[in-house]
Chains A and B, each alone.
Chain A
């Protein structure tokens, strides 16, 4: 298994290149669908090797494989965005792009092996402005009574883990267990979570429209 681990970065790079060539709007959808499947396999292979590294308590390799696995999933999300756009599922396309952005950033923080992908991550942010109209987001301000670390289940901040960092091939996240109250909900242009977008806006004639497609939406319909 250790020999596999040594060869995997090269295998990963070749596999990624094969799929990345279809990450353009003009490419045929059938190739993009194939690349999505290929990236799922690549991510699965990284996951298998990561588990092996975890079993050996090899933290550096476990984190490197987590970074590669997460980057493969980022590219998969990007391709899924193109497919959704072609199928006129704009809302889903947006969600895929946000997933791609979040995964690419997470991969970059997991291990320095992902550093060459920093321009790719920045490209995903540029894509947001090129492919989608500006959006508005709902941003809640909440007071949290109790939250814990996803890795050791201790109160977050009291253990040695830091949210967003990788430890032995797993990301630390802060799990909120008790939200005491919502202090405010604001409309913002730059939220932490871009999936909390406004689904419908009404213009002066009272017609509600989907801010992504500008198509009319019916009450109760969550837009595209």
Chain B
């Protein structure tokens, strides 16, 4: 695992990720393109029936809709997957997928998608002492086409403001 941004013992780290379209097909899901939310257990489940979104993924979905962003869904229209809810003071973000085509054709959409999440999390922790604020987020990036890496963040919520920059640097 490679550390790309350091916030003491926390920060952004990069690791290899499964082939997203291949895994989606294997599970019988729609293949995501552009911007998507990956289920929390996407890598590990044996069947589609076990898939669950993160609780905060639903909030991110609503934030993207509010920002006018188009989300590509793995679930069929009218299909409703359960959500996994972990009870933690920390803001446990979902896994966001960004395709190679979106990164090259509309990098601004990627900045907006990650920016609205970062702003939401800043607002979420208003009134909490800084030392107690913690957030985590995973972003799976396709780049180059057909190659998938996951950047994982854990640390102070302000660090999420760098998400778009970290994704951009990953491409270079």
Residues of chain A having any CB pair with chain B under 8 Å: 104-105, 108-109, 117-118, 121-122, 125-126, 139-147, 155-164, 174, 180, 183, 188, 190-193, 196
B158 within 8 A of A: no
Point out the residue from A109, A126, A147, A196 that lies within 8 Å of B83, measured CB to CB: A147
Is the pair A142, B85 in contact by a Cβ cutoff of 8 Å? yes
- Interface-located stretch among B61-69, B145-153, B161-169: B61-69
Point out the residue from B62, B63, B89, B124 that lies within 8 Å of A159, measured CB to CB: B62
Is the pair B126, A105 in contact by a Cβ cutoff of 8 Å? yes
Is the pair B62, A145 in contact by a Cβ cutoff of 8 Å? no
B123 within 8 A of A: yes
B1 within 8 A of A: no
> Which residue of chain A is the closest to B40 with respect to CB atoms?
A143
- Tally A-B pairs: CB < 8 A: 83
Point out the residue from A118, A190, A192 that lies within 8 Å of B126, measured CB to CB: A118
Q: List 23 A-B contacts (CB under 8 A).
A: A105-B126, A108-B127, A109-B124, A109-B126, A118-B126, A125-B129, A139-B86, A142-B84, A143-B52, A143-B82, A143-B83, A144-B82, A144-B83, A155-B80, A157-B61, A160-B65, A162-B62, A162-B66, A174-B55, A190-B88, A190-B90, A191-B88, A192-B87
> Which residue of chain B is the closest to A124 with respect to CB atoms?
B127
Point out the residue from B61, B84, B90, B128 that lies within 8 Å of A122, measured CB to CB: B128
Interface bits B87-118 vs A (CB < 8 Å: 1, else 0): 11110000000000000000000000000000
Closest 6 pairs (CB-CB, A-B)? A157-B58, A121-B127, A190-B89, A139-B87, A108-B126, A105-B127
Contacts of B88 in A (CB 8 A): 139, 188, 190-192
Is the pair B59, A157 in contact by a Cβ cutoff of 8 Å? yes
